[in-house]
Amino acid sequence: VLFANELKKISHLLGNKFASAGDFSQAVKYFTDAIKYNPTEFKLFGNRAFCFEKMQEYEKALTDAELCLSMCPGWDKGLFRKGRALAGLKVNAHMLNPFIQELLTNRTLVLEEQQLNQLFHI
């Protein structure tokens, strides 16, 4: 168990390092490894969703964002990742309504105007 925890931490740290450097495909690899060792850590799915979004793999980004939110409903970064994936998929306004309702009813989410602009204008 100790070895698995160390592998998870190393994979998570390497994922963050590669994501920060803009090497999103390598980051995805390491976040995926970390998820294997800790499949209930919602932040790992959020981080991988970020990388998928940057790689313009919006379906995968949406899947990870939704997994993240299923583990931690209302998490602001998870909601942001979901919104970016939906925007990347260029879903129509009618399909965005449930997401917008989720944003409006989430009392813990505070997005600045700049973040809202980023969310819907890729």
Whole-prediction pTM value? Answer: 0.78
CATH architecture of 2-120: Alpha Horseshoe (1.25)
Does 96 score more than 50 pLDDT? Answer: yes
Q: Which residue has the higher pLDDT, 17 or 109?
A: 17
Q: 2-36 in b/e burial notation, b at 16+ Cβ within 10 A?
A: eeeeeebeebbebbeebbeeeebebbbbbbebbbe
Distances 97 to 71, 111, 121 between C-alpha atoms, Å = 22, 18, 16
Average pLDDT, the chain: 83
Q: How far apart are CA 61 and CA 93, in angstroms?
A: 19
Return the domain boundaries, the chain.
Answer: 2-120
Q: How far apart are CA 10 and CA 22, in angstroms?
A: 18
Q: Which residue has the higher pLDDT, 46 or 2?
A: 46
What pLDDT is stored for residue 122 in this prediction?
44
pLDDT tens digits, one per residue of 37-49? 889 999 999 999 9
